[in-house]
Every structure is written in C-alpha cells, then in structure tokens.
Amino acid sequence: MKNLFLLSGILFYTLSFSQDRMTPELLWKLKRIGEIAVSPDNSTIAFTQREYKVEDNSSESNIYLVPFGGGTIKQLTTTKGSEFNITWSKDSKNIYYLAKGEGGVNVFAIDAINGIPPVQISFVDGGMSGFKFSADESLLVYCNEVKMEKYTGAEFHTDMPNSNVRVIDDLMYRHWSDWEDGMRSHVFFLNKKDGKFTGKGKDILEGENFESPLKPFGGIEHFTISPDQKTILYVCKKSEGKQFAVSTNADIYAYDIATGSTTNLSSGMKGYDVDPSYSEDGSKIAWLSMEEDGYEADKNDIVIYDGATKTISNITSGFDITVDGFVWSPKGDKIYFKSVKEACVQLFEYDFKSKQIRQITSGDHDYTSIELAGDFIVGGRMDMNHPTDIFKVSIKKGEETQLTDVNKDIYSKIKTGTVEKRWVTTTDGKKQLVWVIFPPDFDKTKKYPALLYCQGGPQSAVSQFFSYRWNFQLMAANDYIIIAPNRRGLPGFGQEWNDAIREDWGGQPMEDYLAAVDEIKKEPYVNADKIGAVGASYGGYSVYYLAGIHENRFKCFISHCGLFNLESWYGTTEELFFANSDIGGDYYGVQSPKSYLENSPHRKVQNWNTPMLIFHGEQDFRVPLNQGMEAFQALQLKGIESKMVLFPDENHFVLTPQNAIIWHREFYSWLDHYLK
C-alpha cells in the first residue's frame, strides 16, 4: 500500500505538471554561474559556469568570458572536467585556473584573447585545492593537505593492514560530512623557476596540527600575499580537540617569508577573524571580525590593522549592520562591501574620510559576490525567481546593468510568479517582514493551498536567494502560495533581532511563524484549511516543534535534517560552540539550560497528530541521522501517517542531480496528497 501511494503520487505529479512552469528537471538544467573575475584593465569579465547532466548524475564547470560593456559570451575552456579558482594575469592576457593535470590538481594558463590551448604551469606533487599569485606572478601560494595524525586501526596496528577501524581519543572526530582522517589543510609557497612552479613548496604551518583554510567552507579568501611579496597572511584556529569544538577563536597570522617567523595580528580578539586583505599600497590590512568567542552568528565587522602603528580599529562598530564580503578601493580611501538589509543583500560603501556608510544598491535581490572595476562594482545577482547572473553597478549612481542572461532559453519558455513584501505585526508588537510568493497565472478569485517556509541557520536571512532545493519558484509552479517569514533570529533587521533567538528557539520565533500564517491565511485567495509547513535544519526543527503546538493550523509537515531531541543532538553534533551559544550549554550540568525542557521538540510529541514526511542525509554530522530516526519512530508508534526518505551519500544538503529530483518528487507527492 505504501509503495502504491508513492508510485501514484509520482505519476500524478508527472502528468499534472504544466509544461510552461518550472519543474525539478528544468531546475537542474539551469546553468549556474560561480566565480567572477574582472581583468586588471577592466575590459573583460571571466566567470565559471557549471552545467549538470542528470542522466549520468554528473556536472562540469567551464570558463567563459563576457565583455565589460556586455555582449557576446565566449566559452574559453572545453577540456573534460571542471576548471575553478580563476584569476587574471597582471597584463590581462591570460587566465590562470586549477584543473586536473600532471601530479594532481594544478595551475593552468590559457590565452584569454586567442583561446590557445591551455598549458600547465605548476607541477606540485599531490596538487592543491586553491592558489594565489604574488603581484609579479613569481610566487605561488597554495593550500593542500598533509598527514598530521594517526586515526585508523591499520596505522596503529601495522600488522593489520586490512582492518577497518577508527581509533578516537578526542573530539572533532568528524566534521560536517567527513570523518577525521588525520589530514590537515596547510598553506605553502613556491617560487617560479624556468617559467614553471615545480616540486614541493614550503609549508608555513610545518609541524602544526592546525588547519588553514578553515574547514568546512573556507577557501582562498583565508590567505593572501602582501603587495611587497614579503608576507603571507593566513587564517587559522590554533586549537585542537575539545577546545576546537567549543571555540570560534580564529586569528589572522602574518608569516615572514624571509625569516620564517609568524605573528598573530589579531591576538586577544576572541571570535572569528577571517578574510584578510591588504590595501593596494600594503600599509593597511582589513578583515572580517566577530567579537564573541563561540558565537558563529555574531555581528560581522570590518576591522583595519595599521601596519605603521600596529593598531586595530573597527570601522563598522557604530553601524547596526553585519558585513559579508568586501573590497578595497585603489587609493585605500574607501571599502565596498555586501550586507543584508531587510531581507535583501545590497552593496555599500564605507568612506574613511567621512566615516560614513552609503548604500549603493536597492531593490529586491541578493548580490552574491563583489569585484571592483574602476567606477563600477561587478558581482553576481540573484532573486527568488532567477539564479545568479552578472551585473555591473555604477558606484556613484547605483545604476545596475545586467551583463549575462545564461538561462534565457529556459526562462523564455516558462512563467514565473510574483513576490510580495508584507509587514506583519508579531505577538509582541514588532514588525516582521514576510515574503508572499504567488503561483504563475495567479487568480485572486480562487483559493490556493499554502506553505509556511521555515528558514534554517537559524541565523540565515530569508533573503532573495535562489535555491536549487528550497526553490520558491518551483513551489509556486505547483500552485502553492508560499509564506516566508523573516522571523526572530535573522540578520538584516539589526543585531537585537538577530540575537533574540538565542536560548529561545521554541519561543518567540515560533510565535512569529504563527503570526505570519494567521495573518496571510485571512486573504480570500488562501485556503485556510489546506496549509502545510516545511523546512530544513533549524527549519526542520521548527517543523517538529510546530507539530506540537500548531493547534490544527497545518494539514501536513515536511522536515529535512531537523533537530528533534536537543539532548541527543548535543551528544552527537560536532561544532559544540554552536550548541553552547544557541541552546545555552550542555544538558548534564548542575543547572541544565531551560532549552532542553522548553525548546526540544521531542518533549511535545504527545501533541503530535498531523502527517509528516522526513528527509535526512546519512552523512550529515551537524544534525546526525538519529534525529530523523527518533522523530520517525515517534510518528510510527503514535500511528500518525508518516514517511522517511534517507540519502546514504548526502550530508546536510542534497547535492547530486538524481537524488535531488527524487527529493522533489517525494516532496510534492506528499504535499499534493494532503493539500490538494
């Protein structure tokens, strides 16, 4: 009977889907722009574009060029495999990038003007995962992994080479989606010889059991080279084991190439210090800094290190704004940065002379990257209905010009819905921004089922992001109205609003969700008897929690990788600083935080009465598999209609095309069964 329900649901989904709307299959045909790099002469923009092949569950990334003034896009690389880490030569004639080659992933050069076949210019044994060149391109700085610790039974017991054993005596034995294997990412440098970079570079963290860039998401933004080519800056969290698990104290280190000595530039600064960048004259260094140790969602400020005075100043401390990505002006008199404001990621300018911040862009969109090009900023821009394309923005006027439209062929054949911005009064009298997304061909005289979208993070804005899983356009294409609140605990509305969720996961944020639903369902076009709630991570937690308090507002739920039992989650998750800051600490101390009694969904299972679908990745170590299993077991034992869909090879996300399409089919089959 269960299999029949699944098959019939998929069949209905396939036959009923309108061909002029977004589908999961079309979603995975979209071309995805990744890295963007402007040539030094500001004439050309290089970018990577990834395309997926659903039939063989693969993808490939190539390099493309578009003129700075817009025009015809030219594909530059055609070799098999993916190219990444693109950077221009100083004369704007060549593009350097990483790809598989002799000795592993190495640096290649390709003529950007004539398209002459690429040439491998680095031959580093074992390859690299990221690189940067010095200003004169004579010095290569790169990162690669080195073996620092034993972790397997075969390493400890060499006479047992065919054993399959992990030997663990400290924390952080797994991280995000990987088990600890004793490998550490280190930063190296290597000088050019005879036009090539050959051999093994100097490890600037030699013998240190630490990592740079930081895992799981750190990249080449975590190291840089001084303009005079004498110093390498790198980001490192120099702690191990239990201390590493509870701390976010990452620092900026300066390595002197001549002497081999290292100086901690951010000593005494307790939170995350990342993404160092020199001013063009090398006199100053800027980086992103969080003040509080252990709080990954703290306010992100830009701090400036003055090389002459050895002093540090915080240039954004007086502004209730959190920063994400920045670039220096050539004269060093201004800094341009990205920040989320009222659920949209905009571009801003900081002026050192006036000490003021000016907003450059406005409108309902998200900027995903930032590059300076003379009087313009170039970056990726997306919105809820469109994936990333490249735009240039006049710094003075804020005028935005679209330079690419890589998915024009698909979008010319489909209809999209509209997005409305609403302000809803919360139960404590505050104003909450709620996005309402409407189906294509919306008819206000009809009644539509609705979905409450619960955001993860928990401190991640419900901005104008375009997701390839939680895709609002696809939800709307299935004739659902989406209610997407920027509930308590999200950035873009001031730090007080962002911090309000700490140790109150099940309190006011849940009231904010319900306030949004109760307001929007008053609209005559919403079928108040056909509303579902969906979400992932903290959003999945929200679904579990709402299931115990919703008082029959919802007809079904979908939770992806949600936190169900905060006690067992604390005992199995890895980055404990997150749990300590948001939940309040461990559950077994003398005085256990109230979160375990008041905010854990498993304590409200007695109130559950609504059908629920659970998704979980078996390689998810941030929210381990047992969370989904515990929730599913409770549903089954209570006799509530429920289904669990597991992905053995996926982590917190669903990253492969065929798995993702199955995810969508199960998602809409479940919703359609209960809401239509």
Write the DSSP symbol of residue 168.
Answer: -
Question: What radius of gyration, in Å, describes the C-alpha atoms of the chain?
Answer: 25
Q: Which helix (H) or strand (E) holds 9?
A: helix 2-16
Mean pLDDT of 39-49: 98
Q: Distance between CA atoms of 353 and 356, rounded to whole angstroms?
A: 8
Whether 509 has a pLDDT exceeding 60, the answer reads yes
Delineate the domains of the chain, giving CATH numbers in brackets: 414-675 (3.40.50.1820)
**pLDDT grade, residue 19 (50/70/90)?**
confident
What mean pLDDT is predicted for residues 629-637?
98
Q: Give the Cα separation of 638 and 632 in Å (integer).
A: 10
As a whole number, mean pLDDT of residues 613-642 equals 98
Question: Taking a C-beta distance cutoff of 8 angstroms, is the pair 614, 645 a contact?
Answer: yes
pLDDT at 15: 35
* pLDDT at 474 (0 to 100): 98
Two tokens, residue 525:
């076009």
Beta bridge partners of 59: 52
Span 152-181, average pLDDT: 97
pLDDT digits (tens, 9 = 90+) for 200-242: 999 999 999 999 999 999 999 999 999 999 999 999 999 999 9
Cβ–Cβ < 8 Å for 37, 87: yes
- Two structure tokens written together for 260: 């081999």
Q: What are residue 522's phi and psi, to 5 degrees?
A: -70, -20
Question: Which residues are annotated as catalytic?
Answer: 537, 620, 652
Tens digits of per-residue pLDDT, 337-369?
Answer: 999 999 999 999 999 999 999 999 999 999 999
Quote the pLDDT of residue 14: 40
